[in-house]
Amino acid sequence: MAMATYYNEPHMTAPRLLGEFDVQGGAWFQYSDRPAGDRDGAFPGYPHRVFTCDGDRAALVLKTVAYVVIDEAPDGGPIHEKWELRRARAYPCA
Protein backbone atom coordinates (compact mmCIF):
# COMPACT_ATOMS: atom_id res chain seq x y z
CA MET A 1 0.00 0.00 0.00
CA ALA A 2 1.35 3.40 -0.92
CA MET A 3 -0.63 6.49 -0.06
CA ALA A 4 0.09 10.06 -1.08
CA THR A 5 1.43 12.36 1.60
CA TYR A 6 -1.57 14.67 1.19
CA TYR A 7 -5.24 14.58 0.15
CA ASN A 8 -7.42 16.66 -2.17
CA GLU A 9 -8.90 19.77 -0.60
CA PRO A 10 -10.26 23.10 -1.88
CA HIS A 11 -7.65 25.71 -2.82
CA MET A 12 -4.76 23.25 -2.59
CA THR A 13 -1.37 24.09 -4.08
CA ALA A 14 -0.06 20.52 -4.61
CA PRO A 15 -1.18 18.68 -7.76
CA ARG A 16 -4.54 17.04 -7.26
CA LEU A 17 -4.66 13.29 -6.71
CA LEU A 18 -6.09 11.79 -9.90
CA GLY A 19 -6.86 8.25 -8.79
CA GLU A 20 -5.71 4.90 -7.47
CA PHE A 21 -5.06 1.40 -8.74
CA ASP A 22 -4.00 -2.11 -7.73
CA VAL A 23 -1.36 -4.19 -9.49
CA GLN A 24 -0.73 -7.94 -9.66
CA GLY A 25 0.06 -9.17 -6.16
CA GLY A 26 -2.35 -6.78 -4.47
CA ALA A 27 -0.17 -3.67 -4.07
CA TRP A 28 -2.25 -0.45 -4.05
CA PHE A 29 -1.05 2.96 -5.28
CA GLN A 30 -2.31 6.54 -5.65
CA TYR A 31 -1.19 8.90 -8.40
CA SER A 32 -1.29 12.59 -9.28
CA ASP A 33 -0.01 14.98 -11.93
CA ARG A 34 3.69 15.75 -11.56
CA PRO A 35 4.35 19.20 -10.11
CA ALA A 36 6.10 21.83 -12.23
CA GLY A 37 9.86 21.37 -12.13
CA ASP A 38 9.67 17.82 -10.77
CA ARG A 39 13.02 16.08 -11.27
CA ASP A 40 14.32 19.21 -13.01
CA GLY A 41 12.05 18.53 -15.99
CA ALA A 42 13.44 15.04 -16.69
CA PHE A 43 11.16 12.45 -18.28
CA PRO A 44 8.68 14.79 -20.03
CA GLY A 45 6.76 11.82 -21.48
CA TYR A 46 5.77 10.72 -17.98
CA PRO A 47 3.23 13.28 -16.74
CA HIS A 48 2.12 11.48 -13.58
CA ARG A 49 3.60 10.83 -10.14
CA VAL A 50 2.94 7.43 -8.54
CA PHE A 51 3.38 7.35 -4.77
CA THR A 52 5.39 4.34 -3.57
CA CYS A 53 6.61 3.10 -0.20
CA ASP A 54 10.04 4.64 -0.84
CA GLY A 55 8.82 8.00 -2.19
CA ASP A 56 7.35 8.67 -5.61
CA ARG A 57 8.14 7.84 -9.23
CA ALA A 58 7.48 9.51 -12.56
CA ALA A 59 4.93 7.54 -14.58
CA LEU A 60 2.49 7.45 -17.45
CA VAL A 61 -0.78 6.04 -16.09
CA LEU A 62 -3.32 4.85 -18.66
CA LYS A 63 -6.59 2.94 -18.20
CA THR A 64 -5.16 -0.59 -18.01
CA VAL A 65 -1.37 -0.12 -17.70
CA ALA A 66 1.15 2.23 -16.12
CA TYR A 67 4.69 2.83 -17.33
CA VAL A 68 6.66 3.64 -14.18
CA VAL A 69 10.20 5.03 -14.30
CA ILE A 70 12.44 2.90 -12.10
CA ASP A 71 15.87 4.23 -13.07
CA GLU A 72 17.75 6.57 -15.37
CA ALA A 73 19.86 5.26 -18.26
CA PRO A 74 23.46 6.49 -18.74
CA ASP A 75 22.22 8.79 -21.52
CA GLY A 76 19.66 10.37 -19.17
CA GLY A 77 16.65 8.57 -20.63
CA PRO A 78 14.10 6.72 -18.50
CA ILE A 79 14.16 3.02 -17.74
CA HIS A 80 10.58 1.98 -17.03
CA GLU A 81 8.52 -1.01 -15.95
CA LYS A 82 5.10 -1.81 -17.36
CA TRP A 83 2.54 -2.44 -14.61
CA GLU A 84 -0.77 -4.14 -15.47
CA LEU A 85 -3.50 -2.28 -13.56
CA ARG A 86 -6.40 -3.84 -11.73
CA ARG A 87 -9.29 -1.99 -10.14
CA ALA A 88 -8.18 1.39 -11.45
CA ARG A 89 -10.37 4.22 -10.17
CA ALA A 90 -10.26 7.89 -11.15
CA TYR A 91 -11.16 10.36 -8.44
CA PRO A 92 -13.90 12.91 -9.23
CA CYS A 93 -12.60 16.31 -10.25
CA ALA A 94 -13.91 19.14 -8.12
In one letter, which amino acid is 46?
A: Y
Q: Give the global pTM.
A: 0.86
CB 53 within 8 A of CB 36: no
| Helices and strands (H, E) in the chain, number of each type | 0, 6
Q: What is the pLDDT of residues 44-93, one digit of tens each?
A: 999 999 999 888 999 999 999 999 999 999 998 999 999 999 999 998 87
CB 47 within 8 A of CB 34: yes
